[in-house]
Amino acid sequence: MEPKMVKALVFDAYGTLFDVRSVLNRCEDVFPGHGSDLTGLWRAKQLEYTWLRSLMGRYEDFWQVTQNGLVFGCRSLGLAPSQDQIDYLMQAYLALEPFPEIAAALDALDGLPCSILSNGTPTMLQSVVHSAGLESRFQHILSVDEVRIYKPSPVVYRLAEDRLGIRREEIGFVSSNCWDVAGAKAFGFQTFWLNRQKAPAELLGVEPDQIIGSAMELTSVLS
Amino acid sequence: MEPKMVKALVFDAYGTLFDVRSVLNRCEDVFPGHGSDLTGLWRAKQLEYTWLRSLMGRYEDFWQVTQNGLVFGCRSLGLAPSQDQIDYLMQAYLALEPFPEIAAALDALDGLPCSILSNGTPTMLQSVVHSAGLESRFQHILSVDEVRIYKPSPVVYRLAEDRLGIRREEIGFVSSNCWDVAGAKAFGFQTFWLNRQKAPAELLGVEPDQIIGSAMELTSVLS
């Protein structure tokens, strides 16, 4: 089947545009010797809680879930963070570093409308996009908070289709999270797995349409 | 509020009655030096895939999901298992060891009807219960395969309520998986978190009714 024209791109935020590992310095600062383990546990638990709460039908927003993931991560390392320490670490999420190629990659896509579809709350997303100086690059910044369920529920991907007003087959979805790509592909987007780390693909019964190693490759795979 | 009488107990299987870490010997046997890492990754991925597939609305049964988790775990360790190796490792799931106190704990509950509610397929559950010689101990062995969605969806817990014909407040639910306890509690069961490893509680907005360190404690907390 000939691929359809991509009329707009939708990006995942955390891990795709913004490096969730950029919390590492603060983690190491607060808990010396535990920075790397805490960074990994924090992210893993944050995601796990989005899936579990979605399945339980007990949505809480991503700020809350991220904080819960942080606190659990600390406890499982035997650390007892104070509220001040939690607040300090949580602030890191408002200013995550964009991956180094992102601004240039967005520039190179000139003319193609780009949006964000993310688990983050509207406040978190506005903040991280502003902090990275990327406000002018995105047409829509869409949060699952509107639909109160997390990725990879099809309800989330439908939000982007509805808001962009473009048919799903003509939307290109870019994510570094292979499970997010699987959800997007199952919904019907054209999918681009941004696999910077050359990780093995998740075995979820759906394959990404394209695999790229850097956002800079989007221009060539789309042309 | 006075706790209601518990008229029946429902047990989770994997990690609660049966030790998922008993696959370790085979993992180490097939991939020397990787047994422990592979055992941990296999279980983590197996669970993750149940949640992701449930959220995507793309159910596959637990045998398939367990095999997918195993293959992903191998690949993420740089291992390339043959189909024979996969088959050999998967067989371990049909004969997981029961935790050492389980038979005695079930005996001590004499008279109280006990059932299993598990992610496992009917075949997997029959096999592991038979292998442990526990067939006569359980009234119902219920599999999510009937409802084609995984824990902690409330649809799963409702299956037990329906099949037992007992109101949810009068069913005691026992699991070592804190997130499973959270789902069961959110549904309305009385919950017993069997926390053998003294792990920190998951932060999912619901607390277990009781926390025990061994299944042997059920008799006393129920009386």
pLDDT tens by residue, A201-212: 999 999 999 999
Chain A neighbors of B69, CB-CB under 8 A: 203
- Complete DSSP assignment for B99-148: PTTHHHHHHHTTTS-EEEEESS-HHHHHHHHHHTT-GGG-S-EEEGGGTT
Cβ burial, residue A39 (10 Å; 0-12/13-18/19+): buried
Q: Is B63 part of the contact surface with chain A (CB cutoff 8 Å)?
A: no
For tokens 């047409």, name the residue: A139
B142 and B114 Cβ atoms separated by less than 8 Å: no
Q: Rounded to whole angstroms, how far apart are CA atoms A95 and A97?
A: 6
Chain B neighbors of A69, CB-CB under 8 A: 203
- A218 SS3 class: helix
Chain B neighbors of A56, CB-CB under 8 A: 152-154, 182-183, 186, 204
Distance of residue A144 Cα from the nearest chain B Cα, in angstroms? 14
H or E segment and range at residue B159: helix B154-164
Question: If you measure CA to CA, which chain B residue comes closest to A74?
Answer: B200
pLDDT at B205 over 70: yes
Predicted pLDDT at A1: 45
**Cβ neighbours, 10 Å, residue B103:** 16
What number of C-beta contacts closer than 8 Å exist between A and B?
Answer: 93
In this complex, the residue of A48, A71, A203 whose CB is nearest that of residue B72 is A203
Work out the pLDDT band at A3, boundaries 50, 70, 90: low
Predicted pLDDT at B1: 45
Q: What is the mean pLDDT of chain A?
A: 96
Which B-chain residues 142-181 have CB contacts (< 8 A) with chain A? Answer: 150-154, 179
Test A53 with B206 for CB contact under 8 angstroms: no
Q: Is B52 part of the contact surface with chain A (CB cutoff 8 Å)?
A: yes
Predicted pLDDT at A111: 86
For tokens 């439908």, name the residue: A158
- Fill in the amino acid letter for B134: L
Q: Rounded to whole angstroms, how far apart are CA atoms B119 and B111?
A: 26
Q: Is B189 part of the contact surface with chain A (CB cutoff 8 Å)?
A: no
Predicted pLDDT at A110: 81
- Mean pLDDT, residues B69-92 taken together: 97
pLDDT at A46 over 70: yes
DSSP β-bridge partners for residue B76? none
Q: Rounded to whole angstroms, how far apart are CA atoms A5 and B197?
A: 53
In this complex, the residue of B76, B203, B206 whose CB is nearest that of residue A71 is B203
In this complex, the residue of B58, B182, B199 whose CB is nearest that of residue A56 is B182
- Complete DSSP assignment for A189-209: -EEEEE-TT-PPPP-SS---S
Predicted pLDDT at A53: 98
pLDDT at A28 over 50: yes
- B173 SS3 class: strand
Q: Rounded to whole angstroms, how far apart are CA atoms A123 and B92?
A: 48
pLDDT at B209 over 60: yes
Tokens of B138: 């359980």
- B30 SS3 class: helix
Chain A neighbors of B200, CB-CB under 8 A: 72, 75-76
Chain A neighbors of B119, CB-CB under 8 A: none
**Which of B114, B129, B125 lies closest to B172 in space, CA to CA?**
B114
pLDDT at B33 over 60: yes
In this complex, the residue of B51, B72, B186 whose CB is nearest that of residue A58 is B186
Q: Where are the beta strands (DSSP E) in A41-187?
A: 114-118, 141-143, 171-175
Work out the pLDDT band at B4, boundaries 50, 70, 90: low
pLDDT at B26 over 60: yes
Cis check for the bond before B208: say yes or no (omega within 30 of 0): no
Test A179 with B52 for CB contact under 8 angstroms: yes
Q: What is the mean pLDDT of chain B?
A: 96
- Mean pLDDT, residues A170-195 taken together: 98
Q: Rounded to whole angstroms, how far apart are CA atoms A115 and A172?
A: 10
- Mean pLDDT, residues B75-92 taken together: 97
Question: If you measure CA to CA, which chain A residue comes closest to B154?
Answer: A56
DSSP β-bridge partners for residue B190? B172
Chain B neighbors of A186, CB-CB under 8 A: 56-58
A148 and A59 Cβ atoms separated by less than 8 Å: yes
Predicted pLDDT at B116: 98
A interface test, pick of B42, B47, B51, B189 with most A CB neighbours within 10 Å: B51
Work out the pLDDT band at B3, boundaries 50, 70, 90: low
- Percent of the residues in chain B that have a pLDDT greater than 70, as a whole number: 98
For tokens 């896509």, name the residue: A109
Q: Rounded to whole angstroms, how far apart are CA atoms B145 and B124?
A: 11
Active site residue B87: no
Q: Is B54 part of the contact surface with chain A (CB cutoff 8 Å)?
A: yes
Contacts of A109 (CB under 8 A, 6+ apart): A9, A218, A219, A222
Pairing of strands B114-118, A190-194: unpaired
Predicted pLDDT at B223: 81
Which A-chain residues 193-222 have CB contacts (< 8 A) with chain B? Answer: 199-200, 202-206
- Percent of the residues in chain A that have a pLDDT greater than 90, as a whole number: 96
Q: For A100-141, how does the pLDDT look when each residue is reduced to its tens digit (9 = 90+)?
A: 999 999 999 988 999 999 999 999 999 999 999 999 999 999
Q: Rounded to whole angstroms, how far apart are CA atoms B147 and B154?
A: 11
Question: If you measure CA to CA, which chain A residue comes closest to B197?
Answer: A76
pLDDT at A23 over 90: yes
